[in-house]
Structures are given as structure tokens and as C-alpha cells.
Amino acid sequence: MRRLRLIVAVLLCLSTVAGINAQSSDSAGSSEYLIKAGFIYNFAQLVQWPPATFSQADSPIVIGILGTDPFGEIIDRVVQNKKLDGRSLVVKRLKRGAPLRDCNILFIGSSEAAHLEEVLQSTKNLPILTIGEMPGFAVRGGIINLTVEGNKVRFEVNIEAAKQANLNISSRLLALARIVPQAADGKKSE
């Protein structure tokens, strides 16, 4: 319980310290992606996967990055030497068409916007926490969408998509999120 409070406090700090303009400069972009990498790490702490997801007690949590990688080495540094429930975190860069089944968390880069429905369809009903940063990502069936609003990194969650993936998201995390409904056809509603 105390650990969960600390995680929630870190998320709050990250979202309020994010006084950056995402498009203003490279350093601002680096700050944005440092914050987003921190969010992804913290999301991993506040999501429960089904017990059968991991083949062994020490199987790593695999973070896949699909498409153009906006993080560079930042996300690798954020998760380096970190463990969650005895599991290390491993980052893998993936190209379109790569098998996604081995990912526990999948960050879908903006470069994959034209193929989003195909990617989300391939992960549907698999215990994969899908995360994106494009308009309408969560409404279209992604689980968590990272946004920049008022120079702060925020996030929205599609609870229905999380249920379809058989993922349990902490109510404390949900309390910090903007909850969005999924479009009936999985496409962005206008």
C-alpha cells in the first residue's frame, strides 16, 4: 500500500513537473520523452497481467517499441537495473510485421498511425498493455494514450480495451487518468 502511494506520487510529480513544450527544442523533446519513459515504467508497476502471461517467475517484462523510436536511449536508462516483482525490464525495438506476442508493453510510435487498426487488431485479446501518443489512440482501441496538454504530459485510458486484454489497471492509476470510451467500430470518432 505504501509503495503504491509512492508510485502515484511519482506519477503526479512527473505530470506537474512536465512544464515543457513538446515542439520547442531538442532538449524539450528529450524532457518530454524522459517523462513519458517514466510514465511507462510506472504504468508497469500499476498494471497486473494474468498469471499465465509469464512462463517463469523471473521472466522479464518486455517493452516493445514499434515504429520510429522517439525515446532513443532514454527509456533504456529509465528501466536499467530496475526490477518489478523480481522481473527485469527489457526494451526491444520492433519493425512492422514483427511478432508482438512476446511483448508485455507495446509502445506504438506515431510513425505507425496509418497501420494502427492493423496493429491493435493483432494485439486484441492478448495481455499486452498498448501505449501510444497519437490523437484518438485510446478511442480507437489502444489502452493508454500519452498526451501533452498545457505543456504537461497527461494520459487517457480505455478501460474496455484493458479488459479485452485481460489486464487489471490499478484504481489509483485510473483516478489520475482521463477515461475515454472506445468507439463502437474501433475507429476514431469524429
In-domain check, residue 145: yes
3-state SS record for 84-99: ECCEEEEEEEECCCCC
In-domain check, residue 187: no
Residue position matching grid coordinates 532513443: 72
Q: pLDDT band for position 186 (50/70/90)? A: low
In-domain check, residue 186: no
pLDDT value, residue 185: 62
Q: Which pTM value belongs to this model?
A: 0.84
- Of 28-37, 39-48, 55-64, least confident by mean pLDDT is 28-37
In-domain check, residue 10: yes
> Looking at residues 140-155, what average pLDDT do you find?
95
Kindly report the CATH number assigned to the domain that includes residue 149: 3.40.50
pLDDT value, residue 9: 45
Q: Which domain holds residue 104?
A: 2-179
190/92 Cα distance (integer angstroms): 34
Which of residues 67 and 186 earns the better pLDDT score?
Answer: 67
Mean pLDDT of the chain, nearest integer: 86
pLDDT tens sequence across 5-36: 444 444 444 443 333 333 333 455 679 999 99
The span from the first CA to the last CA of the chain, in angstroms, equals 40
Q: Which amino acid is at 44?
A: A
Q: How many domains does the chain have?
A: 1
pLDDT value, residue 78: 97
